[in-house]
C-alpha cells in the first residue's frame, strides 16, 4: 500500500484516524502498531514476519547492551550484524552473485528475491536506536510495543524521513493530538500528495514517452534529463511531506527531509538540503566514527569516499547507484579542497547553473538501467551519439509538458511559500478562507487523477 493510492486515501487512512482518535491514550500505540502492520502486510505479507523478527532482535539486544557493561560491545556487534545480514541478504545477494558470475565467468543461479519494501529505512532506524543505546544517549526501551511502534510506524515506514528514536522518544509516551496539529498535518499531506500525483507522476509519464520513442534528439535528451530531475525531487520530497503530515495528524513531529535543494549553489550546500535525515545519519553513524576530518588528509578523503559509496549502495544494488554515490563523493572532495571558494566568488546565477547541471547528470546516472544506457543519455545531451537537434516528437512532447515544467520550476523554489506568508501577514482573513478551499481542490484533483487510472510509479520499491 502506498500513500498515493485510493485504497490508502479512501479506506485505510480515514478508518485508522477514526479509531485512533476514539480510543483512549493508553491504546493509541497499539492502534498505531496494528495499523502499521496491516499497512505493511497489505503489500508484503511474508516480509511482515521478517520485520517483526528484526524488531524483536533489536529490542532484546537493546536491553542486553544496557544491562551488561562487560559484554555490551559484543551485543552491539551482534545486533548490527543481524540487522545488516537481513538487509544484505535480501537487497544485495543477487547483485553480488551477478558480479561474481560476470567476473569469473560462472553461472551461479540468482535467488531472485523480492525486496522487502522499506527495509533500508527501517534497518537504519533500528541501527540508530541500538547505537544510541550503546553510546548511552538513550535508555533501552523496555516496552516492546513502543519500540515496535517506533520501527513500524506506517507514515515513515517505506518512504522516510529516517526518524531516529531520539526524535520521537517522548512522543511515544505523550503526544499532543489536537486540532491545530491535525489541520497542519492535513495541509502538509495534501501538498505532498499534490507534488507526487500532479507533478512527479506526470514527469514519470514524460520519461516513459522518451523511453518508448524512436525519434531521440538532443532536445528530447534534455527533456528526459530535466524530467528525471523534476520527478525524483517531487516524488521523494512529496512522500516526505506526506509522512510529516501524517505524523502531525497522529501527534508526532518528524524531522524535515528537504529544504529546497535546487536553489543550492554548490554540491556541499545541496547535500545540506537534500534527504537531510539520510545525510545526517551517515554523518553521525559512519563519517564521525571513522574519524571524520580529525585525521590525516588521506584518511579524511577515504572517509568521504566510504560514506558516499555506502550512500550509493543504500539507494540500490546496482552499479548506477554506486557510480552516482561516488560521483558526489569526488565532487564534494573537489569542493572541500578549494573549489568551494571559487564557487563562492562567481555570480550566484553561474553557481546555480553549475549545481543544477551536476544534479541533472547525477540523476540521469541514478535513473539509468545500465551503464550503456546512461552513457547514451549523457552523450545525447550534446549530440555526441549522433542524435539530431530536434524531432517532431520532441517538440510535441516539450509543448505537451511545458506547463508542468513551469509549475515544477516554481515549486522547487520557496517563491510560493514566501508569497503565502506575506499574504498571511497582510490579508490573514482572505488566506484563512482561500487556503482550505485550495487544499480541497487539490485533494479532489489528485483523487480524480488516481481514479482515472493514470500512471502512478513508486520509486521506493527500489529501497
How confident is the model over 199-213, as pLDDT tens digits? Answer: 999 999 999 999 999
Q: What is the pLDDT of residue 348?
A: 93
**Rounded to two decimals, what is the model's pTM?**
0.93
Distances (CA, A) of 427 to 184, 191, 289, 430, 433: 19, 21, 51, 6, 10
Residues 196 and 67 in one domain: no
Our answer to whether residue 315 is catalytic in this structure is yes
Q: Would you place residue 424 in the very low, low, confident or very high pLDDT band (cuts 50, 70, 90)?
A: confident
What's the grid cell of residue 407?
A: 509549475
Given the C-alpha cell 524530467, which residue does it identify?
A: 227
Residues 158 and 273 in one domain: no
What is the per-residue pLDDT across 28-63, written as a single tens digit (0 to 9) for each?
999 999 999 999 888 778 899 999 999 999 999 999
223 within domain boundaries: yes
Residues 168 and 307 in one domain: no
Catalytic residue among 71, 105, 275, 315: 315
236 within domain boundaries: yes
Q: Is the dihedral of CA 332, 335, 340, 343 positive or negative?
A: negative
What is the per-residue pLDDT across 88-142, written as a single tens digit (0 to 9) for each?
999 999 999 999 999 999 999 999 988 888 899 999 999 999 999 999 999 999 9
Closest CA to 90 of 108, 112, 58, 121: 112
What is the per-residue pLDDT across 371-396, written as a single tens digit (0 to 9) for each?
889 999 999 999 999 999 999 999 99
40 within domain boundaries: yes
1 within domain boundaries: no
pLDDT at 193 over 90: yes
Residues 116 and 215 in one domain: no
Residues 157 and 188 in one domain: no
Residues 235 and 129 in one domain: no
Residues 187 and 103 in one domain: no
Q: Is the dihedral of CA 18, 24, 28, 30 positive or negative?
A: negative
Residues 204 and 158 in one domain: no
The per-type count for the chain, helices as H runs and strands as E runs, is 22, 0
> Number of structural domains, the chain?
2
State how far the Cα of 39 lies from the Cα of 158, in Å rounded to an integer: 10
Stretch 238-242: mean pLDDT, rounded? 96
- List the domain range (segments joined by +) for residue 47: 6-175
pLDDT at 458 over 80: no
Closest CA to 378 of 337, 327, 308, 416: 327
Q: What is the pLDDT of residue 336?
A: 94
Report the chain's mean pLDDT, rounded to a whole number.
Answer: 93
Residues 333 and 352 in one domain: yes
Q: Would you place residue 431 in the very low, low, confident or very high pLDDT band (cuts 50, 70, 90)?
A: confident
Residues 84 and 196 in one domain: no
pLDDT at 463 over 60: no
Stretch 413-442: mean pLDDT, rounded? 91
Q: What is the pLDDT of residue 160?
A: 73
Stretch 308-313: mean pLDDT, rounded? 96
Q: Would you place residue 177 in the very low, low, confident or very high pLDDT band (cuts 50, 70, 90)?
A: confident
Stretch 427-452: mean pLDDT, rounded? 91
State how far the Cα of 226 lies from the Cα of 364, in Å rounded to an integer: 9
Amino acid at each position: 500500500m502506498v500513500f498515493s493510492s485510493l485504497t490508502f486515501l479512501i479506506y485505510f487512512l480515514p478508518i485508522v484516524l477514526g479509531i485512533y482518535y476514539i480510543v483512549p491514550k493508553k491504546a493509541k500505540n497499539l492502534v498505531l502498531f496494528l495499523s502499521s502492520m496491516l499497512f505493511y502486510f497489505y503489500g508484503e505479507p511474508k516480509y511482515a514476519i521478517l520485520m517483526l523478527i528484526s524488531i524483536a532482535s533489536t529490542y532484546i539486544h537493546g536491553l542486553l547492551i544496557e544491562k551488561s557493561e562487560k559484554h555490551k560491545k559484543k551485543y552491539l556487534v551482534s545486533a548490527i550484524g543481524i540487522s545488516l545480514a537481513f538487509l544484505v541478504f535480501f537487497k544485495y545477494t543477487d547483485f553480488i552473485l551477478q558480479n561474481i558470475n560476470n567476473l569469473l565467468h560462472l553461472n551461479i543461479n540468482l535467488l531472485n528475491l523480492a525486496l522487502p519494501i522499506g527495509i533500508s529505512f527501517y534497518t537504519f532506524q533500528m541501527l540508530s536506536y541500538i547505537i544510541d543505546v550503546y553510546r548511552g544517549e538513550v535508555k533501552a526501551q523496555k516496552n516492546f510495543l513502543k519500540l515496535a511502534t517506533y520501527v513500524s510506524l506506517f507514515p515513515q515506514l517505506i518512504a522516510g524521513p529516517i526518524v531516529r528514536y531520539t526524535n520521537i522518544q517522548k512522543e511515544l509516551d505523550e503526544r499532543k493530538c489536537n486540532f491545530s496539529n491535525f489541520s497542519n498535518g492535513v495541509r502538509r499531506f495534501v501538498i505532498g500528495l499534490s507534488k507526487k500525483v500532479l507533478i512527479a507522476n506526470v514527469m514519470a509519464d514524460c520519461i516513459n514517452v522518451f523511453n518508448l520513442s524512436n525519434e531521440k534528439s538532443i532536445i528530447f535528451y534534455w527533456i528526459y534529463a530535466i524530467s528525471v530531475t523534476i520527478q525524483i525531487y517531487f516524488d521523494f520530497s512529496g512522500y516526505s511531506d506526506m509522512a510529516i503530515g501524517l505524523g502531525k495528524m497522529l501527534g508526532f513531529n518528524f524531522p524535515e527531509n528537504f529544504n529546497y535543494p535546487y536553489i543550492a549553489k554548490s554540491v556541499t550546500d545541496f547535500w545540506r538540503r537534500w534527504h537531510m535525515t539520510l545525510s545526517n545519519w551517515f554523518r553521525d553513524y559512519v563519517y564521525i566514527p571513522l574519524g571524520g576530518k580529525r585525521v590525516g588528509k588521506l584518511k579524511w578523503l577515504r572517509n568521504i569516499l566510504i560514506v558516499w559509496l555506502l550512500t550509493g549502495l543504500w539507494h540500490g544494488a546496482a552499479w548506477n547507484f554506486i557510480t552516482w554515490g561516488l560521483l558526489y563523493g569526488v565532487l564534494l572532495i573537489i569542493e572541500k579542497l578549494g573549489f568551494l571558494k571559487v564557487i563562492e566568488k562567481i555570480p550566484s546565477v553561474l553557481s546555480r547553473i553549475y549545481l543544477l547541471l551536476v544534479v541533472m547528470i547525477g540523476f540521469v546516472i541514478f535513473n539509468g538501467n545500465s551503464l550503456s544506457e546512461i552513457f547514451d543519455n549523457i552523450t545525447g545531451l550534446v549530440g555526441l551519439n549522433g542524435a539530431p537537434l530536434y524531432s517532431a516528437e520532441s517538440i510535441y512532447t516539450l509543448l505537451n509538458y511545458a506547463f508542468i515544467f513551469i509549475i515544477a520550476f516554481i515549486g522547487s523554489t520557496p517563491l510560493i511559500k514566501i508569497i503565502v506568508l506575506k499574504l498571511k501577514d497582510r490579508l490573514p482573513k482572505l488566506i484563512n478562507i482561500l487556503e482550505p478551499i485550495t487544499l480541497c481542490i487539490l485533494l479532489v484533483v489528485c483523487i480524480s487523477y488516481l481514479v482515472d487510472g493514470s500512471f502512478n510509479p513508486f520509486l521506493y520499491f527500489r529501497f
